[in-house]
Amino acid sequence: MNSTIILITGANSGVGYATTKVLVSASKDFHIIMTSRSLTKVKTAMAELEASKPAGSLSALELDVTDQQSVDTAVAHVTSQYGHLDVLINNAAIGSRGPDVMKRFQDCLTTNVIGPAVVAAAFRPLLLKSSNPYSLFVSSGAASMGKASDPTDAVYKVNIPNGGAYRVSKAALNMLVLQEWIKYAETGLKVFAVCPGFVRSNLRGKSEEEVSGWGQAGDPVVAGEMILGIVKGERNADVGKFVWKDGVYAW
């Protein structure tokens, strides 16, 4: 098989779904493995995309980033079916604003940091079998220490409720990305932290107000188009950095 094999976690909604849509529409040579902790949801999402008869191809796979057995099963499937992986997009994430500090931080750190670390480690041998491997981690501009410590930046001024567990977890994810890049750069693995921008997402909550960012959030397809550019090699000059559609953020 000569296809570029791309696996996306949390692909049934939000940035993951939009990125899948952009990628599968971009090239007949792209095969996207859509994953989610709910196989039913990801199969439904896949059927929606296949109805538009995209150029590329899709498959669905259950993958819970917080469950080692689920990760191992997914790796075994990809190994059996494809023998390698060209692009890994660690996108699955959660937000939490509950009143219990312990639970809020444990939940966010488990899904948003430990999960991607486990997934990256598990799929790395398959990535290193690719002639042009990419490992992408979807982060958040709200996690930038540079932006958060700059009084002139909008991120500095944002009032985050309940301790900001989500942005703390994404800041930790950024350090994971940096360590991945430093450790594996010589292997040819191209590692990026990716800020999707302020786009529609159910991470803020389930109501239309929250999903739409109170009417301010953009279309996540913009994030998908940026990720397509990375996969096509258009951002290789920024490898090992925290990128957004118009440039690079400070860590």
Task: CATH number of the domain at 148, please.
Answer: 3.40.50.720
**Of 14, 68, 90, residue with least CA distance to 45:** 14
Whole domain around residue 217: which residue ranges?
4-249
Question: What is this structure's pTM?
Answer: 0.93
Three-class SS state of 246: coil
17 among known catalytic residues: no
Residue 156 among the catalytic residues: no
Task: Tell me which residues of the chain have a pLDDT lower than 70.
Answer: 1, 159-163, 198-218
The predicted pLDDT at position 98 comes to 81
Q: What is the DSSP letter of 51?
A: T
Domain count, the chain: 1
The identity of residue 62, as a single letter, is E
Q: Which long-range contacts (CB under 8 A, 24 or more apart) does 214-219 make?
A: 219/18
pLDDT for the residue 215: 52
Among 82, 134, 166, 184, which one carries the catalytic annotation? 166
Using one digit for the tens of pLDDT, what is the confidence trace for 126-158?
A: 999 999 999 999 999 888 999 889 899 888 877
Which segments within 87-175 are labelled E, that is strand?
87-90, 134-138
Q: 193-227 burial, b for 16+ CB within 10 Å, e for fewer?
A: bbbbbbbbbebbeeeeebbeeeeebeebbbbbbbb
Residue from 195, 176, 61 nearest 116 by CA: 176
What pLDDT shows up at residue 216? 53
pLDDT score at 220 = 80
Annotated catalytic residue within 147, 170, 190, 241: 170
pLDDT of residue 219: 75
